[in-house]
């Protein structure tokens, strides 16, 4: 199938671009000895797990279902972190995960012995209280009142017996200078206990495959922890794996006019790209410009009843017409995993663009997927 023949709306992951990212990440692993695992919360398209598994160490999960997916579909190292674990899930989590990371000393005390008896590695998440983000508090684990990780003032060294690693996650779409800043805070606050550990996990949010990312600085950060403390280093990026490797193809259904020309699409910010409303975030759109940058400007909006179901204002060289296809970029990460069926909106189909240029639809959704969500 050709790209232009795909049904809309449709997520498309470009296999060649995904592999390009994977080769960059694998290069970091080969040069440093660090291990990189896929954070499934950002990208969990299991059809491509065999390819990802050729380059990365494994997966990391935010709970039981992601942990099962990584275990079943990739079958390599499998890590998990959750703010708290359920009593009725912890045994299965331990059985399929290699690293179980706890968010608090109370969770550690509750479940540590089970993990150790199973021969698995116990980790503890720390909060270095080092915010390096501006304007995105919703994604800042170091923001005041955050529920993530143990702060220095609450640290209990006498309870570290059996803990083999520390984990921090403070970044979101950031460069390695922010990692370096964070690492200084980690060493300052938790340095006395790092030498007791076997491994450290730098978490995610590292935009390693972005063009301007400073990879040598990242590798220097890794080397610092290896040389200074003898630690095995893990990173768990999600976005970097599929950054700029996917698209969302949509069609124009109709037009409306209310002070601005409005194009109604068969996709939705609310249902198919919720980060547009949460961040806020303006997704890239091929062959377009900023509002009024080009001769014809349109507000692109969805079909739902939510007044704010607006993707953004974009300009074009030529007027749009019903049936035109628009292609949004960088849609493989987060958008795919956050989709929903509000208002009965159909979920987009999912396709892979193979390296030979052919497109394969790997999943289509229908009424039963909507109906089956609720009893």
Report H helices in 210-316: 215-229, 239-242, 269-272, 275-278
Rounded average pLDDT over 343-354: 98
Q: Are strands 163-167 and 121-125 parallel, antiparallel or unpaired?
A: parallel
Residue 135 has a pLDDT of 72
Supply the DSSP symbol for 149. Answer: S
> What confidence score (pLDDT) does residue 279 get?
83
For the chain, domains (ranges, CATH) are 3-11+246-331+339-371 (2.40.37.10), 33-242 (3.20.20.10)
CA 276 to the chain's CA centroid: 15
pLDDT at 98 over 80: yes
Give the 3-state secondary structure of residue 215.
helix
How would you classify the pairing of strands 232-235 and 199-201? parallel
Q: Output the pTM of the full model.
A: 0.96
pLDDT at 138: 85
CA 278 to chain centre: 15
For the residues 94-104, what does the mean pLDDT come to? 98
Instruction: Provide the mean pLDDT of the chain.
Output: 97
Token pair of 107 as six digits: 């969770």
pLDDT one-digit tens code per residue, 70-88: 999 999 999 999 999 999 9
Give start and end residues of each alpha helix (H) in 44-198: 49-53, 64-73, 90-96, 105-117, 176-194
> Of 127-141, 212-226, 233-247, which gets the smallest average pLDDT?
127-141
Angle 176-194/215-229 helices, nearest 10 degrees?
A: 10
Q: Which residues pair with 167 in a beta bridge?
A: 125, 201
CA angle 135, 142, 35 (to 5 degrees): 105
Alpha carbon of 108 to those of 96, 123, 271: distances in Å? 18, 9, 37
* pLDDT tens readout for residues 258-315: 999 999 999 999 999 999 998 888 999 999 999 999 999 999 999 999 999 999 999 9
237 neighbors 175 (Cβ within 8 angstroms): no
Cβ count near 92 (within 10 Å): 14
Please answer whether residues 137 and 143 qualify as being in contact, where contact means their C-beta atoms are separated by less than 8 angstroms. yes
Task: Give the pairing type, strands 325-329 and 58-61.
Answer: unpaired
Say if residue 34's pLDDT is above 90. yes
For 239, the 3-state DSSP assignment is: helix
Q: Report pLDDT digits (tens) over 116-171.
A: 999 999 999 999 999 998 777 888 999 999 999 999 999 999 999 999 999 999 99
Q: Which residues touch 172 (CB under 8 Å, ≥6 apart)?
A: 133, 136, 139, 140, 205
């Amino acid at each position: 199938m050709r790209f232009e023949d795909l049904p809309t709306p449709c997520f498309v992951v470009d296999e060649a671009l995904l592999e390009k990212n994977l080769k960059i990440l694998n290069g970091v692993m080969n040069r440093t000895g660090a291990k990189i695992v896929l954070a499934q919360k950002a990208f969990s398209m299991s059809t491509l797990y065999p390819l990802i598994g050729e380059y990365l160490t494994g997966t990391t999960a935010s709970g039981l279902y992601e942990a099962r997916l990584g275990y079943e579909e990739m079958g390599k190292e499998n890590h998990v972190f959750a703010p708290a674990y359920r009593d009725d899930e912890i045994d299965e989590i331990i059985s399929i995960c290699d690293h179980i990371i706890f968010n608090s000393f109370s969770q550690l005390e509750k479940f540590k012995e089970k993990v150790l008896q199973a021969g698995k590695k116990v980790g503890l998440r720390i909060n270095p209280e080092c915010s390096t983000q501006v304007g995105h508090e919703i994604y800042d684990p170091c923001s005041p009142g955050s529920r993530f990780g143990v702060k220095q003032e609450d640290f209990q060294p006498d309870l570290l017996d059996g803990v083999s690693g520390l984990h921090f996650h403070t970044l979101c779409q950031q460069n390695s200078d922010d990692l370096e800043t964070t690492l200084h805070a980690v060493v300052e606050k938790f340095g006395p206990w790092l030498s007791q550990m076997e491994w450290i996990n730098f978490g995610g949010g590292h935009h390693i495959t972005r063009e301007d990312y400073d990879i040598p600085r990242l590798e220097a950060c890794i080397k610092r922890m290896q040389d200074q403390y003898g630690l095995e280093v893990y990173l768990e990026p999600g976005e970097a794996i599929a950054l700029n490797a996917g698209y969302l193809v949509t069609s124009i259904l109709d037009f409306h006019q209310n002070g601005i020309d409005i194009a109604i699409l068969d996709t939705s910010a609310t249902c198919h790209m919720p980060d547009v409303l949460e961040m806020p975030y303006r997704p890239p759109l091929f062959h377009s410009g900023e509002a009024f940058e080009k001769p014809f400007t349109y507000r692109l909006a969805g079909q739902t009843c939510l007044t704010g179901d607006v993707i953004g204002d974009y300009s074009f060289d030529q007027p749009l017409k019903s049936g035109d296809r628009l292609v949004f970029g960088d849609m493989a990460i987060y958008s795919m995993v956050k989709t929903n069926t509000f208002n009965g909106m159909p979920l987009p189909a999912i396709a892979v663009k193979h390296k030979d240029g052919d497109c394969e639809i790997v999943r289509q959704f229908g009424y039963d997927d909507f109906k089956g969500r609720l009893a």
